[in-house]
Amino acid sequence: RNLTMHFTQRSGWFRRTRRVTRAVDGISFDVRTGETLGLVGESGCGKTSTGRSIIRTYTPTGGQLRYRAADGTEVDLATMPSSKLPEYRRQIRMIFQDPFSALNPRMTARDVIAEPLKVNKVAGGRELDDRVVELLRQVGLRPEYRDRFPHAFSGGERQRLVIARALSLNPRLVVADEAVSALDVSVRAQILELLVDLQRQQGLTYVFISHDLSVVEYLCDRVAVMYVGKVVELGSTEEIFARPRHPYTQALLAAVPQPDPTRRNILTQPPLEGEVADPADPPPGCHFHPRCPFAQEICRTDAPPLRTTSDGHQVACHFAEQLTLDGLTGATAGR
Ligand code: SF4
């Protein structure tokens, strides 16, 4: 609720110059048990900072992270003291983007998977070995691979190892940050299948961070689109992909390549111009207005709130109701 992650840098004489980067700027959304929520947007939109705040690698500078534990008790992870966090870190795990740098090259597969079990004193001795074998099987790796070092695994196998480690403590929520982006397309499909199977078998909840919208469409139940630290559109995957309301979502979807030549992309927006705004110095009003083909005077001064539209999803745009797939109706389009 109203989650904020601001980074402050000081520089200059006596470090008097202060620069505040608003990586996450007051966002609110729910993650429902057993679903996959996609967080999408270009690089620099605040997706990773949101994910890292959820697992409390970053301590949010404001707002709440309300987490309902398996026994029904609700806690605020944002303000929880570090001494109490380990209990919840077991329940909320992260899969990182790059399986090549996520693994210590000096640790065998067994050590990689066993480490969280040992640190959290969950298993030891024979029980630990059995659990490692079970986890390797769950992610589709052969148990005899347990004495291999990461360099002996392919990219896909390394990511399976990373997933096995993330699952070792039986988490409830997994934050996957660009979990398949570094993989070849064929391997990517296998890892996505694995994530879906594991979710089905273990009732996992995923927050899936990605800039790849075709992967998000395949995997996610709902999607939150972020731009410069804000959620600009939120709804079911079906709704967002069939009827995107925000011009930024429309532009992202228009840029997805359509591999089937007999099908046409329903969106024909031209590619987005310019770069994502600097989160340390975002434009006033709607942060998207310098790149928005439909920007009006009000967009330059008033920030649009995230509100529910008639078709049930949430959009932060002054003209959400008038924006159709073909552009803006009922108002004069143009910058
Ligand atoms: Fe574009 Fe204005 Fe909507 Fe922002 S509020 S997305 S600038 S039309």
What's the CATH number where 197 sits?
3.40.50.300
Name the domain boundary from 175, 190, 224.
Answer: 224
Q: How far is the CA of 285 from the centre of ligand 1 (A)?
A: 9
Q: Which residue has the CA at smallest separation from atom 3 of ligand 1?
A: 317
Instruction: Select from 224, 251, 266 the last residue of a domain.
Output: 224
Measured CA distances, 1 to 25, 210, 272, 286 (Å): 11, 22, 30, 21
201 within domain boundaries: yes
**Same structural domain for residues 210 and 254?**
no
Q: Using an 8 Å Cβ cutoff, are 26 and 3 in contact?
A: yes
Ligand 1: which of 231, 273, 319, 332 to mutate, judged by most atoms within 8 Å of the beta carbon? 319
H-type helices in 168-321, by residue range?
185-202, 213-219, 237-242, 247-254, 297-301
User: Residue with the nearest Cα to atom 6 of ligand 1?
Assistant: 317
pLDDT band for position 72 (cuts 50, 70, 90)? confident
Is residue 187 located within the same domain as residue 250? no
Residue 335 clears pLDDT 50, i.e. is over it: no
Is 116 a member of any domain?
A: yes
Nearest to 173 by CA among 97, 116, 91: 91
Residue 261: per-residue pLDDT: 60
Ligand 1 atom closest to Cα of 286?
Answer: 4
> How is residue 229 annotated by DSSP?
T
Query: Is residue 232 in some structural domain?
Result: no
Residue 87 pLDDT class (50, 70, 90 cuts): confident
In the reported structure, the alpha carbon of residue 55 is separated from the centroid of ligand 1 by a whole-number distance in angstroms of 32
Question: Residue 65 C-alpha to ligand 1 middle, in angstroms?
Answer: 28
202: left (phi over 0), alpha (psi -120 to 50) or beta: alpha
* pLDDT at residue number 333: 44
Least confident interval from 42-51, 98-107, 190-199, 213-222? 98-107
Q: Cα of 43 to ligand 1 centre, how many Å?
A: 20
Do 210 and 260 have their domain in common? Answer: no
Closest CA to 22 of 282, 315, 290: 282
> Would you state the pLDDT for residue 266?
59
pLDDT at residue 31, as a whole number = 97
Q: Is the pLDDT assigned to residue 182 strictly greater than 60?
A: yes
Residue 169 and residue 107 share a domain: yes
pLDDT at position 96 over 90: no
Give the integer Cα–Cα distance in Å for 226 and 230.
5
**pLDDT grade for 264, boundaries at 50, 70 and 90:** low
What residues make up the domain containing 298? Answer: 242-328
- Give the pLDDT band (50/70/90) at residue 68: very high
211 and 264: one domain?
A: no
What does the pLDDT read at residue 167? Answer: 93
Residue with token string 């005077």: 297
Which residues 6+ apart lie within 8 Å of 89 measured at CB?
55, 56
pLDDT at 53: 95
In a shared domain, residues 40 and 123: yes
Longest Cα–Cα distance of the chain, Å, equals: 71
- Using the predicted structure, report yes or no on whether residue 330 has a pLDDT greater than 70: no
Long-range contacts of 236-241 (CB under 8 A, 24+ apart): 236/313, 237/38, 239/311, 239/312, 239/313, 240/313, 241/217
User: In the block, which residue shows the tokens 């409390």?
Assistant: 56
Residues 192 and 59 in one domain: yes
